[in-house]
Amino acid sequence: MIDFADGRYCLRGPVTLANVGQLMEDGRRRFDGSSVRVDLSGVTEADSSAIGLLLGWAREAAARGATIQFENPTENLETLIGLYQVGEFLPRIRR
């Protein structure tokens, strides 16, 4: 689920193969503006498809000339980002 509060989008719940397609589409529909902030602290479960989701959102933002900033990745997400060595491709990951 993607909520919007305090000027940023908040990703909540699991991000797995079972729901990543729907989350990708939700992001496409909801993310607007030239600068998008996504808080990842509410992710309760993540598998490798979560990495694909973040990379996809980053690619789409770049294609439309926008910036995207990922904030507060969970420990699980940080582990996956390190395992797949994609940190340099994910804009401004902050914890």
CATH number, domain with residue 51:
3.30.750.24
pTM for this prediction: 0.92
Give the start-end residues of each E strand in the chain.
2-5, 8-15, 35-46, 67-71
Report yes or no on 58 lying in a domain: yes
Report yes or no on 95 lying in a domain: no
pLDDT in tens, 13-39: 999 999 999 999 999 999 988 899 999
pLDDT in tens, 45-82: 999 999 999 999 999 999 999 999 999 999 999 999 99
CA 25, distance to chain mean position in Å, is 12
Report yes or no on 31 lying in a domain: yes
Question: Is pLDDT of 1 > 80?
Answer: yes
Total domains in the chain come to: 1
Report yes or no on 94 lying in a domain: no
What is the domain range of residue 13? 2-89
